[in-house]
Structure 1
Amino acid sequence: MSLLTFNNDLTSTLEVTKDVLSVFRQSNDKKITIRQGMSISEISEVVSEKIINVVKEQFEITKEDFETKTVKK
């Protein structure tokens, strides 16, 4: 695995060979809450999952609104 390190105060690293679409995969072992002692990677996965869920919900609401407006015309 290749790592990319940025020179900043927090000294963070990113996995550059990680599959980009892995964020969208459904797995049973996903954590849904942030707990003390979690790594930065685990925390970012929880936050990403929550953001994706919010965007999906907003998309569905917008889709339904658009469909109802289209039917009314």
Structure 2
Amino acid sequence: MNAALAPTLNAADRCDRCGAQAYVRASLHAGGELLFCAHHGREHIPALAGVADIHDESERLLEPTPVGETTA
């Protein structure tokens, strides 16, 4: 799967390490994928860079949420 074409991660996507909301998807070249929160993504992306396509949406954490709205 091409990481650029991967669907946007949402609140149902959970980190494989801690269960928090996932913001990073590593699509392994050998097949399968790993999901990580921003924290675990920063920890594991360097080791996965050569064996996976990385789709990182952690910049979404910096987007302001208007008062009264929730993120999905």
Higher relative CO (Cα under 8 Å, sequence separation at least 6) belongs to: 2
Determine which structure has the larger helix proportion and give its number. 1
Which has more radius of gyration?
A: 1
Structure (1 or 2) with the greater strand fraction: 2
